[in-house]
Amino acid sequence: MCLAVPVRVLTREGDWGEVESSGARLRVALHFVPEAGPGDWVLLHAGAAIAVLDEEEARESLSLLKELSVARDR
């Protein structure tokens, strides 16, 4: 199963950027989201941002992923 997770863009240099995910910083490809910049939320899949999300959508998705994780650990 493949998942894409919401992350927040911290920096951008050309087609590459640094994002934050659960406290970890990752270098990712931003080729598919030329409009994304620092502060934006993007959907990350396999090391590449594939869509820009609004903050409400990103936080809702993160909340649902957390619920799934808790349910799995029961």
Phi then psi dihedrals of residue 32, to 5 deg: -85, -5
Euclidean distance between CA atoms 74 and 68, whole angstroms = 10
From 58, 46, 69, 56, select the one nearest 6 (Cα to Cα).
58
Per-residue pLDDT of the chain (74 residues; tens, 9 = 90+): 678 999 999 999 999 999 998 899 999 999 999 999 999 999 999 999 999 999 999 999 988 888 887 676 77
DSSP state of 63: H
Q: How confident is the model at residue 1, as a pLDDT? A: 65
Query: pTM score, two decimals?
Result: 0.85
Q: Where are the domains of the chain?
A: 5-72
For 5-72, CATH number? Answer: 2.30.30.140
